[in-house]
Structure 1
Amino acid sequence: MRSTAHQRDDPATWDVARPERASRVAGVTMAGFGVRNLAALRMVPHPALTMILEFGAGQPIVDDAAGREQRGSLVTGLGFGFAGAVRARGDNVVCVQVRLSPPIARAVLGASPADLQGAAVPLEELWGREATRIREQLSEISSWQERFALTDAFLARRGEEGPAVDPEVAWVWDRIVVGRGLVRVDSLAAELGWSRKRLWSRFRSQIGLQPKLAAKLVRFDQAVHRLVAGEGAAQVAADSGYADQSHLHRDVAAFTGVTPTTVASEPWLTVDDTAWPATRDTRAR
């Protein structure tokens, strides 16, 4: 467990734990968090679905753009937090956070990512009593590695039983991620021998975003983490396929609601190198 302070004005100490072993489920990564005072943390869109399995004394609270409030264990749709309009808060929050690559999410959740419509959904709505059961089991375990093992076994079982995405759709997602978002989607459709309309329809219904927007999200994620690492915006823009620095600025503002300079110190992003080292490859491997 590593403790790191990530908020400047109102410091919140994040206790972060990482699994010692990779998940048995391709496309699943996990981290453990303990946060005593989580105050209005801006959620930044990520090219994976985010699942929160909470089991502490307090509950995480997510306030979305429509003014809705979700408490407790939940899962968010792909790209959740667009425009920086979503905040997470809570006291004494302890949870396992899971990132699900979109091609595996359908099987694990038992529902298409498209059904989440970019929202935060209580896990009870998807899993019923199972969501309560795993929370209770996690609360009875004192070791983070045992918690990760329990969660991994649970997700593996669901992944084996759930519906798979079309292999062609998984292949397109893989190509988008490998290409860091710098791909021509029409060319991918041609490689498959599919029409543009067919690819758009299948991808949207099974992944949750149109392929072009998915590529923009992957490119944004790669670029914004380079900004967090301290690289200059001009160089990041040039290397990431943006037309110029202004183009990067517009994309960052669209996804986060803030400038590249501000986003470089966002706690939601700066904790990543501690919680998810070298795991920004969101492919279904």
Structure 2
Amino acid sequence: MSERIFVSEDPSAASPPPSESAPYSAWAPSLALRAHVTRIHLCLEPIAAGEEIVERVLPDGTVHLAFTLGDPVPGPRGDDALDAEVHGASTAPVIIRMAGRVEQVGVHLRAGAIGHVLGVPAGELAGERVSLDALWGRAADEARERLAAVPHGRARVAVMEAILGERLRGVDASPHRAALAALQRIVEHGGREKVRDVAAHVGVGERRLEQLFHQHVGLSPKAACRLARFRAALALIRRGHAWSDVVIACGYVDQSHLVHDVRAFTGLTPGALRREFGFLQSAAGA
């Protein structure tokens, strides 16, 4: 058994297309979907017979869909494998045990698009793993069949984009501007700005911002700030910065505050996190 950490990253629209032969590849969405989707990722990884990979997926705060086209992948709590599933926004790591032929297509939805694509408020999915059948009905199986009918790579991304385009056709699918602007500001400021200041910046009250985040994001504004700060810290940790420097750069009260968040968001001690980065996979990798 081998273990590794998975850290998702959004590809830039200006980035060259990723390698289709990489075990993981993240694709920037087409211009038509860019307001609704942050990335589409593909996974194709044959694992040797008798071997198992345990992957620790660190939270990124998005709601995402996953279609399994290869061997079944059990749920993170040991629950049943699903052919098509939705993972709600979360601040907790997810442990996935993989064996056999791992082949998946994933879609990470932008804040404001969840209701249009899935038909429910983002907050109702928070921290949950739900069968896509429960939300799309027969259309979930049809989508999986269409994805399985084309080869891994660019062709599969094109089919996924067509499926999403059909879901959005004929509806007022404009993302909610205030929710999107607030989340963008939180990320840009590394979660260091107070929630009341974020709300004031986008022209709403704190209570209204809470409602918007339940509807369109799936995390509370405070949780989104904590996660954004940790993601900023994680970027520095991956580059080998000293813990004391990370504390100062990211606005933690002290080192114990940072250690608390490392444990909360990764399930690991800081020392174990450093060691595990030797086995890191990145969804934005070419």
TM (norm. structure 1) is 0.80
Contact 2:3 2:54 in 1 (8 A): no
Q: 1:166 maps to what in 2?
A: 176
Partner secondary structure for residue 162 of structure 2: helix
Q: 1:236 maps to what in 2?
A: 246
Is 1:59 the counterpart of 2:60? The answer is no
Structure 1 residues 260, 158: closer, same or farther in 2, change over 3 A?
A: farther
Q: 1:91 maps to what in 2?
A: 100
Contact 1:62 1:89 in 2 (8 A): no
**Residue 72 of structure 1: which of 77, 83, 107 is its match?**
83
CA–CA distance in 2 between the matches of 1:138 and 1:217?
Answer: 32
CA–CA distance in 1 between the matches of 2:261 and 2:273?
Answer: 12
Structure 1 residues 201, 85: closer, same or farther in 2, change over 3 A?
A: same
CA–CA distance in 1 between the matches of 2:278 and 2:128?
Answer: 18
Partner secondary structure for residue 112 of structure 2: helix
Structure 1 residues 241, 228: closer, same or farther in 2, change over 3 A?
A: same
- Write the deviation string for residues 130-175 of structure 1: whole angstroms up to 9, x where unpaired: 1111211121112410001111122233234375553222221121
Partner secondary structure for residue 60 of structure 1: coil
Contact 1:106 1:162 in 2 (8 A): no
Is 1:191 the counterpart of 2:198? The answer is no
Structure 1 residues 208, 143: closer, same or farther in 2, change over 3 A?
A: closer
Q: 1:151 maps to what in 2?
A: 160
Q: 1:276 maps to what in 2?
A: 284
State the one-letter code of the partner of 2:89.
L
Runs of 5+ consecutive residues of structure 2 not aligned to the other structure:
5-21
State the one-letter code of the partner of 1:178.
E
CA–CA distance in 1 between the matches of 2:279 and 2:258?
Answer: 17
Contact 1:52 1:75 in 2 (8 A): yes
Is 1:263 the counterpart of 2:273? The answer is yes
Contact 1:47 1:221 in 2 (8 A): no
Q: 2:9 maps to what in 1?
A: none
State the one-letter code of the partner of 2:140.
A
Contact 1:44 1:256 in 2 (8 A): yes
Partner secondary structure for residue 100 of structure 2: strand
CA–CA distance in 2 between the matches of 1:268 and 1:29?
Answer: 25
Partner secondary structure for residue 233 of structure 2: helix
CA–CA distance in 2 between the matches of 1:155 and 1:230?
Answer: 39
CA–CA distance in 2 between the matches of 1:190 and 1:18?
Answer: 34
Contact 2:60 2:227 in 1 (8 A): yes
State the one-letter code of the partner of 2:155.
E
TM (norm. structure 2) is 0.80
Contact 1:104 1:159 in 2 (8 A): no
**Residue 117 of structure 1: which of 95, 113, 126 is its match?**
126
**Residue 261 of structure 2: which of 244, 251, 256 is its match?**
251
Structure 1 residues 44, 150: closer, same or farther in 2, change over 3 A?
A: same
Calculate the aligned-residue CA RMSD, in Å: 2.8
Q: 1:30 maps to what in 2?
A: 40
State the one-letter code of the partner of 1:168.
A
CA–CA distance in 1 between the matches of 2:273 and 2:55?
Answer: 12
Q: 1:282 maps to what in 2?
A: none
Runs of 5+ consecutive residues of structure 1 not aligned to the other structure:
1-5, 9-13, 279-285
Partner secondary structure for residue 227 of structure 1: helix
CA–CA distance in 2 between the matches of 1:269 and 1:176?
Answer: 29
CA–CA distance in 2 between the matches of 1:111 and 1:95?
Answer: 24
CA–CA distance in 2 between the matches of 1:270 and 1:40?
Answer: 12
Q: 1:16 maps to what in 2?
A: 24
State the one-letter code of the partner of 2:181.
W
Deviation at 1:214, TM superposition (A): 0.8
Tell which deviates more after alignment, 144-153 or 239-248.
Answer: 239-248
Tell which deviates more after alignment, 157-166 or 170-179.
Answer: 157-166
Equivalent residue pairs, number: 261
Which one has more relative contact order, counting CA pairs under 8 Å at least 6 apart? 2
State the one-letter code of the partner of 1:17.
S
Structure 1 residues 107, 199: closer, same or farther in 2, change over 3 A?
A: same
